A and B are shown apart, each in its own frame.
Chain A
Amino acid sequence: MTRADAFSDREVAMCIVARMIEDGRTYWAAGGGTPLYSVLLGQKLYAPNAQYVTEDGVVAPEPLLPFEPMMTMVASRAVHHALYWGTMNTAGFHAQLGHMDYGILNTLQIDQHGNINSTVLGEYGPGSRRFGGPGGADTIAACCWRTIVITDQIRRKFVKQVDFISSPGFLDGTPGARERAGLPADTGPWRVVTPWAVYDYLDRRLRLIGRVPWVTVDEILAECEWKPLVADDVEVLEPPTEEEVSLLRTELDVRGQTTDAAGSWITWDGAKYVRA
């Protein structure tokens, strides 16, 4: 594995998630974009027997890549050579039954207890800023055994309390809060991944456990409006490899729609990685 010389923020996040993909497990990837590309990258490089489903009830496809723009579900290339073709309720029921080990999703805003907001910024109602809504994420966050959230490391995204809980984390953070709301037992947030950092949860509170070599813990904390817990030993993560970024660029996100949507570039200056 060679360290890559140049890559984008979004590529870093996808590579980190790809390395978390566990062989022989099932993943429900929300929508297209970073969740789906992370699973595909992990499957191709590290966990050939990891399987995924998407909201349209496709089970374990072998997609014909690349996708046409926006065509990451339902379209024939996305559902190609699957083991099963179902519907949205298929995906929901299979998750309810416990068949989905992991869910991977994006969010606009996340709080100290892993609740996520993709609905509105500001107080709900006229005047607040409207976004798309939970889509499949509510079911993913409620019913998969473990949930991985991918988001950008931006101050306003990491808050004490989200403006609107679109999809559930640990709710108010008290033991048993999810079960009291009717959600399946022993499920919930597991990791949060940004282009800079990895977080887990300690007693249902967000905790920084990993950072990329080119940012410090203090820089990460400066990009969190609400400060997470910090592990005693924050692991320094390996940078993306040439293999990873080349697969992302030549087979998966070939148009760069996901990669180039936000963030900055990181390059190797001969001695260290620097942010552009």
Chain B
Amino acid sequence: MTTVTSTATIEVLREGQGAYLPVDLDAFRAHVRDHKDRSLTPRLMSAKEAVSRFVADGDYVAYECNYLMRGPNAVVHEIIRQQKRDLWLAGKFTYVDVALLLGAGCTSKADCGFFLSTPGIQKAIDAGTFEVFEYSNVVMALRLQAGAMGVPFLPVRSLGGTDGFEHSGAKLIRDPYSGKPITIVPALNPDVAIIHVHQADVYGNARIFGTGISDVDSALASKKVIISAEEIISTGEIRSAPGSTSIPYYAVDAVVESPFGSYPGTCPGYYGSDPAAVMEIFQAIMSDTVPAYLDKWVTPFATFQEMLEKRVGLQKLLEMKRREAPAREGYRA
């Protein structure tokens, strides 16, 4: 038997000074108890209904992966259409999303893992209308994992020693077991997660194929979860291969049927990207002309579907699907 030595307090060696979304585990549990539907009740709805019911001004929003790669773009467009304001974005693994939502007037803050910095972002930071807190991609994913585990923080072996640490909610503590320094980062429980998946049933049991960033953790960590799905499949099909279910229904608040929902990006295994339209969004954010982009791709249309029909067209969509054929292996239950 070894003796257990108890220390009265855990020594905090250094603390980051960045604001972070407060963590309240029991408030989260109470929210789950009171608002998550644990019955098998269909929750299929339009993007319009999902966004108006589950995205509020000022919400902290996590999106998965990004606008170019299996992004929940049908839902992003709807957020822009409904002019949601003051969103706080989990800006990890991001090329264009932060700049797009800033240009659309929807966001005022972001936690940074990586997002392409643009003239619009620069202007907003300088004007004090957009605030950034510093993490890294993996640290953001780990914060979501802590959120998805129902614990207040997790230790991590990066971020320590960086200036990002100083502008984050991280702390360097003395590990009470080994006595060695270790960084801890606060859990992240977003108000809302928006995630595009390959398949889901009407209850929200969802299948994601291929690699991803933090889809499952974002779903479980978030108070409100909107899933958009390429295909709605039967619950019988879900039950036939339960090992392929990525997200279970009780984490999910809304399911939106969104074929080609990641356009102009790729939904791996289903369709490739539209390279010309991908370049267009880069041009829009780098030349600070997001409003013109929105006037072309978002605001004239009542739905994402209508945009696909009128602006993109069947021929292009089928071409994107055909181009994906050689790489389809592995993308099925």
What residues of chain A have their CB less than 8 Å away from a CB belonging to chain B? 55-58, 64, 68-71, 73-77, 79-82, 85-89, 91-92, 96, 119, 124, 126-127, 129-139, 141-143, 164-168, 171, 177-184
CA distance A142 to B158 in the complex (A): 5
CA distance A173 to B160 in the complex (A): 15
How many residues of B are counted as interface, with CB atoms below 8 angstroms from the partner's CB atoms? 68
- Distance in Å: Cβ of B16 to nearest Cβ of chain A: 12
Closest Cβ neighbor of B139 among chain A residues: A138
- Distance in Å: Cβ of A270 to nearest Cβ of chain B: 40
CA distance A133 to B163 in the complex (A): 11
- Distance in Å: Cβ of A126 to nearest Cβ of chain B: 5
CA distance A262 to B92 in the complex (A): 26
A179→B112 contact, CB < 8 A:
no
- Distance in Å: Cβ of A86 to nearest Cβ of chain B: 6
Q: For A70, give its contact among B68, B183, B211, B212 (CB under 8 Å).
A: B68
B114→A168 contact, CB < 8 A:
no
Task: Determine, out of B42-50, B51-59, B121-129, B288-296, the stretch whose residues face the partner at the interface.
Answer: B121-129
A92→B141 contact, CB < 8 A:
yes
Closest Cβ neighbor of A183 among chain B residues: B160
Known contacts A119-B163, A182-B172, A183-B161; is-contact A68 B136 (Cβ 8 Å) = no
- 13 pairs from A and B in contact (CB 8 Å cutoff): A68-B273, A69-B273, A76-B272, A87-B211, A87-B215, A88-B137, A133-B136, A135-B93, A138-B137, A138-B138, A139-B136, A179-B180, A182-B172
A96→B157 contact, CB < 8 A:
yes
Query: B181 contacts the other chain (Cβ, under 8 Å)?
Result: yes
Q: For A168, give its contact among B139, B160, B324 (CB under 8 Å).
A: B160
- Distance in Å: Cβ of A260 to nearest Cβ of chain B: 16
Known contacts A138-B162, A167-B162; is-contact A89 B138 (Cβ 8 Å) = yes
A71→B69 contact, CB < 8 A:
yes
Question: B198-223: which have CB < 8 Å to A?
Answer: 210-217
B183 contacts across to A, CB distance below 8 A: 181-182
Query: B182 contacts the other chain (Cβ, under 8 Å)?
Result: yes
CA distance A127 to B127 in the complex (A): 9
A132→B122 contact, CB < 8 A:
no
Q: Which of A89, A138, A177, A183 has the most CB of B within 10 A?
A: A138
Q: For A183, give its contact among B65, B126, B157 (CB under 8 Å).
A: B157
A87→B162 contact, CB < 8 A:
no
B157→A73 contact, CB < 8 A:
no
B181 contacts across to A, CB distance below 8 A: 179-182
Query: B142 contacts the other chain (Cβ, under 8 Å)?
Result: yes
Task: Determine, out of B25-33, B186-194, B304-312, B325-333, the stretch whose residues face the partner at the interface.
Answer: B325-333
A131 contacts across to B, CB distance below 8 A: 117
B212→A56 contact, CB < 8 A:
yes
- Distance in Å: Cβ of B45 to nearest Cβ of chain A: 27
Known contacts A88-B137, A165-B163, A181-B160; is-contact A71 B273 (Cβ 8 Å) = yes
B180 contacts across to A, CB distance below 8 A: 179, 182
B136→A138 contact, CB < 8 A:
yes
- Distance in Å: Cβ of B2 to nearest Cβ of chain A: 24
A91 contacts across to B, CB distance below 8 A: 138
What residues of chain B have their CB less than 8 Å away from a CB belonging to chain A? 65, 68-70, 91-93, 95, 112-117, 121-122, 125-128, 132, 134, 136-139, 141-142, 145, 156-164, 167, 172, 180-183, 210-217, 266, 268-269, 272-273, 275, 278-279, 282, 324, 326-331
Q: A96-B156, A143-B158, A166-B162 are in contact. List 6 more A-B contacts (CB 8 A).
A: A76-B266, A79-B211, A79-B268, A132-B117, A181-B172, A181-B181
A138→B128 contact, CB < 8 A:
no
Known contacts A70-B68, A181-B181; is-contact A166 B163 (Cβ 8 Å) = yes
A64 contacts across to B, CB distance below 8 A: 326-327
CA distance A79 to B209 in the complex (A): 11
B159→A142 contact, CB < 8 A:
yes
B122→A129 contact, CB < 8 A:
yes
A180 contacts across to B, CB distance below 8 A: 181
Known contacts A74-B212, A87-B212; is-contact A142 B160 (Cβ 8 Å) = yes
A70 contacts across to B, CB distance below 8 A: 68, 95, 273, 278, 282
CA distance A73 to B132 in the complex (A): 25
A87→B329 contact, CB < 8 A:
no
CA distance A70 to B94 in the complex (A): 12
CA distance A96 to B275 in the complex (A): 35
B139 contacts across to A, CB distance below 8 A: 138-139
Q: Which of B132, B137, B141, B158 has the most CB of A within 10 A?
A: B158
A88→B157 contact, CB < 8 A:
no
Closest Cβ neighbor of B118 among chain A residues: A130
- Distance in Å: Cβ of A257 to nearest Cβ of chain B: 11
A119→B164 contact, CB < 8 A:
yes
B128 contacts across to A, CB distance below 8 A: 126
- Distance in Å: Cβ of A63 to nearest Cβ of chain B: 9
A71 contacts across to B, CB distance below 8 A: 68-69, 266, 272-273
CA distance A126 to B136 in the complex (A): 20
Q: Which 7 A-B pairs have the closest CB atoms?
A: A181-B161, A135-B114, A142-B158, A138-B136, A76-B327, A181-B160, A182-B160
- Distance in Å: Cβ of B165 to nearest Cβ of chain A: 8
